[in-house]
Amino acid sequence: MIQTGIQPLIYCGFRSFEEQAALYSKGRTAGGRIVTKAKAGESYHNYGLAFDWVPVKPTPKDPKMLTADWDDATAYKVGEQAGHTFGLSAISWETGHLQDSRYKTWREIPGAGESVGTVVAERNRKAMQAGKVARKVRIRKP
């Protein structure tokens, strides 16, 4: 994507069940607007299989500083196409969200509904056995 001039900022990857429950409560039992359709355990984020991103661009006053360009439809389309290269798919109701395309629904994810710690620990154990390094990276939306 960078070759096209688009700079992506990943701001949300793995999300715990607790974080998901707090997001799900927004606009329902907590103040604010509804921000997710997924309850705790029903999000690809809960299994480390999704991330949210936004294109960023230099600010007019200082080109070294970047700002989110939430409305850049072209960038999101390019990002979606780039995601397909890596086995990721977008969802129609949330721009900037890419998730593992091997599963049609969260219910198909191995270990779905179990403690996320169990699922992630098992995935990390298998990665270590295969000689791969697995680590949890977490970036918050500004």
**pTM, rounded to two decimals:** 0.73
CA distance 37 to 93: 10
CA 112 to CA 99: how far, in whole Å? 15
Q: How confident is the model at residue 128 (pLDDT cuts 50, 70, 90)?
A: low
Q: Which 3 state secondary structure label does DSSP give 101?
A: coil
pLDDT of residue 116: 53
pLDDT above 60 (res 132): no
Residues contacting 73, CB < 8 A, separation 6+: 95
Query: What integer is the mean pLDDT of 115-122?
Result: 59
Domain 2-129: CATH class, spelled out: alpha beta
Check whether 126 has a pLDDT greater than 90. no
Token pair of 108 as six digits: 């198909």
Condensed to tens digits (0 to 9), the pLDDT of residues 57-113 reads 999 999 899 999 999 899 999 999 999 999 999 998 889 999 999 999 988 888 787
**Secondary structure of residue 52 in the 3-state scheme:** strand
pLDDT at 90: 93
For residues 43 and 50, what is the distance between their CA atoms, to the nearest angstrom? Answer: 8
Domain ranges of the chain: 2-129
pLDDT for residue 34 is more than 70: yes
Vertex 17 angle, CA 38 and 19, to 5°:
85
- Residue 16: exposed, middle, or buried by beta-carbon count in 10 A (0-12, 13-18, 19+)? middle
User: Alpha-carbon dihedral of residues 20, 86, 92, 72, nearest 10 degrees?
Assistant: 100
